[in-house]
Amino acid sequence: MRKIKIYGLLTCVCLMMQSCLFNEDDIFDESSAQRAIASVNECQEILKGAANGWLLEYYTGEDGEYGGFNVLARFDGNNVIMAADFATDNYEIGEESTSLYKVESYQGTELSFDSYNELIHEFCEPSGYNSPGYAGDYEFVFRSVSKEKIVLTGKKHGVTLIMTPLPAETNWQEKLTNIANVVSQASYVTYKLIVNGQEITKMGQEEHAFSVTKVDETGETTVSLYPFIYTEEGIKMYEPLVVNGVEINNFKWDNENLTYICTDTGVDAKIEFYCPEGYLNYLGNYILQLANGQRIQLELKQKMIGKSFAMNFALSGTPIEFVYNYNMTTDCIDVPSQTVGVYQGYNVLLYPGIPGGNFYADDSAVFQGRIANTDPLTIKFTYVNNPICTLMLLVYQKTDGWYGFSTMFQDVTLIKVD
C-alpha cells in the first residue's frame, strides 16, 4: 500500500512539473542516445578506415599471462577477414577466415565477433579434459579510439589489447610467415637474462611467456610470468622487464647464437639460451617395453636441443615419430598429445585411453615421465589428468569428427641400454 501512495505522490509531482521536466528528460535521453550512436558510428568508421586492416595483439589468459598472438583483421561494416601467425585445425598460418562482427552500445561501445571465427574463438574454448584453454575473449569494450591506435579490454577476462593500422604495403602472408619463422626458431625452453654482462636470472619459456621460479627459505615455490608477443624481428614484452630501474621491452632474435638481443636505446641486455645439464642424460638407446611383454629397441635422438627428443619407428609401413619433451621441473621426459604420422592421408594422433579402447581426444594431454629405477635408467609414464589411463592410443582423424583406431601402447616403459 505504501508503494502505491509513493508512486501516486510521484505521479502528482510529475504532473505538476511536466512542462519543465519533460523537456529536460527528453534532452538528456536524446543526448545520451545520440552520444551512444555517435560512438558506435565513430568506432565503425575507424575500423573500416584502415584499408589494409589492423594488427590485433591478442593476449590470452588472466592478465595476459599466456602471452600474445598476432591476428590481422580487415573490417567492411558487416564482415571481418582475419589471418594469424598460428595454425588451427582448419587454417594454416596466414590463411584468411571470414566471419561477422558488430559494434554496439551496451555499458559502453563494444566490438563483438559474434559469429564463429576459428582464429579468435580457438582461444575461448576449453582445450580438453579438465583444461580451461587459453581463457581468451571474443567480446571487447573500446577504451580509446583513433586512426592510429585502438585500445580494447576483454569483457570476460579484462585483458587489454592493442590494435594498430597496417601500412598499405604490408603483405599479410609475408608478415605472418616471418613472425611464424621466429616462433619456430626461438621456441626453446631454457634461457638466462643477462644485463650489462651480468646474469640476472634463469628463465623458462613456455609458448609466449617467460617464467622465473623462486623458492623461499620455507621451500615454497613461486612462479612469475612475463608474457610477450612475437614480431617479425623477435619479441615485444607485454609489460617491460625492469632491472635496477631500467625498462627492457624489445628484442631481436639472433638465430646463430640462440639469443634475444635487446634493441631498446641505451640498454645492454640479452636473453640467451642455455642447455640444461639433465637434457643430455636422456639421449641414447632404449628398450620400449609394453604391458604385453613386447620389447622394441629404439633410439631417443635430439630434436630441439634442451627442449625435445624424437623416437622414430614404423607401424605397418607407416613412419611414426614420438616426440618427448624435457621437463626441467621433474628432470625427466614427458609425452604430450601430438600428431605422430600420416596414414592414407589422415593424421595419426597420440591420445590417452583406458583398457577397452576408449580414449580422450585431448590435445593438451601429457603423459608425465617418472624415474622408476636409475640403474638401468627406467622411465614409466602416467597421464597427468587421469592416472587410470594407462594407454597411449594411436588413432587417425577422419572427417566430421570421426576417428579410426590404429594401435595402442599400454603401460609404456623406457629402459636405457647405453
Residue type, 242: V
Structure confidence by residue, pLDDT tens digits, 284-317: 999 999 999 999 999 999 999 999 999 999 988 8
Cβ contacts of 191 within 8 Å, gap of 6 or more: 202, 203, 204, 205, 210, 260, 271, 272, 273, 274
Phi-psi sector, 219: left (phi>0), alpha (psi -120 to 50), beta: left
Q: What is the mean pLDDT of the chain?
A: 88
Percentage of the chain lying above the pLDDT 70 cut: 90
pLDDT of residue 20: 35
Domain 33-168 in CATH 1.10.287? The answer is no
Alpha helices (H) in 50-129, listed in sequence order? 118-121
Burial of residue 287 (number of CB atoms within 10 Å: 0-12, 13-18, 19+) = middle
Average pLDDT value for residue range 48-62: 96
pLDDT, tens only, 154-195: 999 999 999 999 999 999 999 999 999 999 999 999 999 999
Q: Categorize the per-residue pLDDT at 11 as very low, low, confident or very high, splitting at 50, 70 and 90.
A: very low
- pLDDT surpassing 90 at residue 89: no
Q: What percent of the chain has pLDDT over 90?
A: 67
Architecture of domain 187-271: Beta Barrel (2.40)
Confidence at residue 1, expressed as pLDDT on a 0 to 100 scale: 31
pLDDT exceeds cutoff 80 at 342: yes
| First-to-last C-alpha distance (Å) of the chain | 91
Structure confidence at residue 29 (pLDDT): 53
pLDDT at position 132 is 64
What does the alpha-carbon distance between residue 221 and residue 94 come to, in Å, rounded to a whole number? 40
Question: pLDDT confidence of 12, banded at 50, 70, 90?
Answer: very low
Domain edges within the chain: 33-168, 187-271, 277-415
CB-CB contact of 275 with 308 (8 Å): no
Highest mean pLDDT, choosing among 30-39, 253-262, 393-402: 253-262
**187-271 shares the fold of 33-168:** yes
User: By three-state DSSP, how is residue 67 classified?
Assistant: strand
Q: Lowest-confidence range among 93-107, 207-221, 235-249?
A: 207-221
Is the pTM value of this prediction over 0.75?
Answer: yes
Location of C-alpha cell 591506435: 149
